[in-house]
């Protein structure tokens, strides 16, 4: 727990490593692991209990809502417990916002899950949400409470610039689809104004992709494929294969949220991808942690600084200018 001028920080069990780093930043390097009592009944039902008095405190709850859905339930119960314990303000710090990919009604009888998740969080008692790289920026419009959407770009770009120092003139930035052009363009601007290419594809069904064409020149280039989420890695690997077939010298991936479900790690290992750079918004599996192709950089300092600024009233957007 971090306790400074009525500010307290607790974390669920979804990503303890990231939570500890955030706490160390907030507590000048001496953050405690004694955050909140999270447990389960014998049948798996989640049980929450705050061990300290949080009456009239400014409470920050850190929890990514990736699978299993227990992470979401745990966050909701933490919010409800804090509300019933008379916390003055409750901020849900959600490094990875699950269900963000279902941000619109793209089929006749499909839900808008992102909107529903926001409504549930607000109904539970959240007064503010801090998250990172929402799949769609318009998700912020689903809420009547403030949402700070942070960006992993600063730490990812910093690593790329250092890694490819002296070779930046060979780098091309690729968007894995038309929807990601804005994101890829923002990275390209920061990476020595690199050229931008697009992987044109068709998606016959979820998690299945047919790559159609590479729009732009990649021959003899170092290609960075920029995405916000890599789930099964099928889309990413198929795009990388098409890029290599078009004559690229090397292919790298850069993404904020490494969901990496199913056989994603095995696909990466057997793919022509040189490496995949990700952040720690999601706790990686043991297989992913030891995978030589996966490199992790931390966004803990960005999240911690945003938490401080949301409390003091300083500008959060200045973190990214």
As annotated, the active-site residues are 201
Residue 299 CB-density burial (10 A; 0-12 exposed, 13-18 middle, 19+ buried): buried
Beta bridge partners of 258: 230
Considering only CA atoms, which of 184, 269, 263 is closest in space to residue 231?
A: 263
Helix%, strand%, coil% for the chain, nearest 5: 35, 25, 40
Considering only CA atoms, which of 136, 110, 179 is closest in space to residue 118?
A: 136
**312-321 long-range contacts, CB within 8 A, separation 24+:** 316/148, 316/150, 319/150, 319/154, 320/150, 320/151, 320/153, 320/154
Considering only CA atoms, which of 74, 116, 113 is closest in space to residue 94?
A: 74
Structure tokens at 72: 């979401």
Beta bridge partners of 11: 62
């Amino acid at each position: 727990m971090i306790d400074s001028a009525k500010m307290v920080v607790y974390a669920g069990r979804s990503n303890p490593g990231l939570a500890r780093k955030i706490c160390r930043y907030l507590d000048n390097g001496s953050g405690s692991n004694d955050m909140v009592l999270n447990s389960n009944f014998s049948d798996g039902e989640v049980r929450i209990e705050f061990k300290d008095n949080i009456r009239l405190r400014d409470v920050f709850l850190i929890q990514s809502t990736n699978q299993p859905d227990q992470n979401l339930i745990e966050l909701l119960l933490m919010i409800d417990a804090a509300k019933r314990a008379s916390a003055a303000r409750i901020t849900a710090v959600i490094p990875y916002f699950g269900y963000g990919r279902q941000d619109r009604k793209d089929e006749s009888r499909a839900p808008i899950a992102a909107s529903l998740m926001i409504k549930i969080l607000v109904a539970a008692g959240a007064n503010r949400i801090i998250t990172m790289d929402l799949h769609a920026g318009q998700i912020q419009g689903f809420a009547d409470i403030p949402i700070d959407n942070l960006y992993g770009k600063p730490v990812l770009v910093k690593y790329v610039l250092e890694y490819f120092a002296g070779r930046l003139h060979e780098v091309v930035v690729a968007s894995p689809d038309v929807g990601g052009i804005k994101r890829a363009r923002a990275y390209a601007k920061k990476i020595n104004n690199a050229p931008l290419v697009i992987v044109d594809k068709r998606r016959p069904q979820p998690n299945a992709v047919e790559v159609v064409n590479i729009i732009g020149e990649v021959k003899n280039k170092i290609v960075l494929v920029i995405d916000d989420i890599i789930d099964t890695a099928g889309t990413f690997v198929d795009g990388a294969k098409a890029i290599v077939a078009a004559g690229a010298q090397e292919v790298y991936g850069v993404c904020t949220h490494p969901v990496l479900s199913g056989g994603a790690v095995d696909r990466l290992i057997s793919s022509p991808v040189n490496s995949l750079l990700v952040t720690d918004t999601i706790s990686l599996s043991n297989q992913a942690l030891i995978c030589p192709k996966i490199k992790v950089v931390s966004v803990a300092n960005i999240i911690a600084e945003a938490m401080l600024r949301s409390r003091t009233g300083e500008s959060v957007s200045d973190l990214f200018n």
